[in-house]
Amino acid sequence: MADLIEKLKQLEERYALLEHLLALPETVSDSVKYQQTLKEYSALAPVAEKIGAYMEAYTRMQEADNLRRTESDAELCALAEEEYRTEADTAQRLAAELKLFMIPKDPNDDKNVIVEIRAGAGGDEAALFAGVLYRMYVMYAESHGFRCEFAGATETGLGGYREITFMVSGNGAYSKFKFESGVHRVQRVPETESSGRIHTSTATVAVLPETEEVQIEINPTDLQIDTIKSTGAGGQHINKTESAIRLIHKPSGIVIECQDERSQLRNKDKAMRLLRAKLFDQKQREQTDKIASERKSQVGTGDRSERIRTYNYPQGRITDHRIGLTSYTLDTFLNGDLDFMTNALAEADAAAKLNEKDGAFL
């Protein structure tokens, strides 16, 4: 209990300090410092309010507890007992809510995101499923007001994708997509299957937070940049001009191909953004591998070899294997209605991190 009170006092002191800083002329005159301070102050405001409510409930609970232990009058003792239980329930609820605020926020949550989808086992059917996932994610992104940019793809003759890469821009994009990394399995009767047998195919999704130049430095001498002809369905420039870019990062062996179908400069810019994201992702994975406990606090956000979800067409079912959640709303899910799944995964992730904290609040 003492640990909680101490943490709450620290948060209150920080909130009061930020309020003081916002009133200082030197803060107001520095636009960058002012915005940073205001952002932190705004984030702490709802926490400060809950801290006040919690401290009041805890104080009343202590007073009621003392009264029920010392009061000789049976009626007053019963009233004190009732008040104690009420205030204890309130304090417990507020403590649980405050505990969520104390979980460190993922620093990548507000970033733009890069999504790569690759066909896995299942041949042409896996490539078609990759196309289904691409459509689903684009509709999901657009439902949240995010902007999607196509980066490049390798298509198949049947309209599927061996691989496809796109970018999603908007505040909080990564927070919405970060739990999608992993192996997605589909069970359905392929369009090319005449006997009506159910096939199982897979596609792998990788979700990378976009990073800034200052976070990842790239030595120009480490790059090999080739211009190639764009491929796939597109405009008049397809297969006519060498507008696509192949970028090879020699130290890591990472190869990026990007085609905007029009501008070589735009393709190069996107390729560099993709490369920075992949290098940043590689760096994060190396750090995570060194801290085994971090893997315990993740709901499958880091392991792309993990089978995370099954899409069963005959039953109209989606099952997320990480949290054991099943829904029979496959049609709407594939049309971009992923919020119930995303929210459930976020809650499970938060609960896992809460369980790692030692001690109880009450």
Do 94 and 182 fall within a single domain?
no
Same domain, 93 and 229: no
Considering the domain architecture, whether residues 96 and 118 belong to the same structural domain is answered as no
SS3 content of the chain, % helix, strand, coil (to 5): 50, 20, 30
Nearest to residue 57, comparing CAs of 29, 28, 89, 34? 89
* Same domain as 168, residue 88: no
pLDDT digits over 84-116, tens only?
999 999 988 888 778 777 777 778 888 889 899
Range of the domain at 120: 113-349
User: 186: part of which helix (H) or strand (E)?
Assistant: strand 182-188
d(CA 7, CA 125): 54
Are residues 92 and 132 part of one domain?
A: no
Q: pTM, whole model, 2 decimals?
A: 0.63
Of the pLDDT bands very low, low, confident and very high (cuts 50, 70, 90), residue 298 is very low
What is the rounded distance in angstroms from the CA atom of residue 168 to the CA atom of residue 112? 6
To the nearest whole number, what is the mean pLDDT of the chain? 81
Q: Looking at the structure, do residues 198 and 283 belong to the same domain, yes or no? A: yes
Residue 146, pLDDT score: 95
Q: Which two tokens stand for residue 291?
A: 């801290």
Question: pLDDT confidence of 64, banded at 50, 70, 90?
Answer: very high
For 175-232, how does the pLDDT look when each residue is reduced to its tens digit (9 = 90+)? 999 999 999 999 998 876 666 788 999 999 989 888 755 456 677 777 777 776 665 5
- Is 320 within the bounds of a domain? yes
Asked if residue 27 belongs to a domain, the reply is: yes
The answer on 175 and 135 residing in a single domain is yes
Mean of pLDDT values over 274-303:
59
Coil/strand/helix, residue 108: coil
Instruction: Note whether 189 and 248 are same-domain residues.
Output: yes
Give domain status of residue 356, yes or no: no
State the pLDDT confidence band at 238, using cuts at 50, 70 and 90.
Answer: very low
Range with the lowest mean pLDDT among 192-201, 281-290, 327-336?
Answer: 281-290
Three-class DSSP category at 199: strand
Same domain, 185 and 327: yes
Give residue 68's identity as a one-letter amino acid code.
Answer: R
Q: Look up the CATH number of the domain holding residue 173.
A: 3.30.70.1660
State how far Cα 110 lies from the chain centre.
9
Query: Are 299 and 168 contained in the same domain?
Result: yes
* DSSP three-state, residue 177: helix
Q: Is residue 7 pLDDT above 90, yes or no?
A: no
Asked whether residue 125 falls in the same domain as residue 171, the answer is yes
Number of H helices, E strands in the chain: 10, 11
Token pair in block for residue 36: 């940073």
Query: Looking at residues 53-62, what average pLDDT do you find?
Result: 90
Task: Please give the pLDDT value at position 234.
Answer: 43
Q: Does some domain include residue 108?
A: no
- Rounded to an integer, the average pLDDT of 43-47 is 82
pLDDT score, position 103: 74
In DSSP terms, which residues pair with 249 in a beta bridge? Answer: 223, 254
Domain count, the chain: 2
Domain annotation covers residue 361 = no
**240 or 332: whose pLDDT is higher?**
332
The pLDDT score that the predictor gives to residue 120 is 92
Q: How far is CA 104 from the centre of its chain?
A: 14
287: in domain = yes
**β-strand 199-209 against 182-188: which pairing, if any?**
antiparallel
pLDDT tens per residue, range 146-168: 999 888 888 887 888 999 989 89
Closest by CA position to 179, among listed 280, 295, 300 = 300
Domain boundary among 43, 68, 101: 101
Of 75, 101, 127, the one marking the end of a domain is 101
Last residue of a domain, one of 74, 101, 128: 101
- Is the domain of 57 the same as that of 190? no
Cβ–Cβ under 8 Å, residues 10 and 53: no
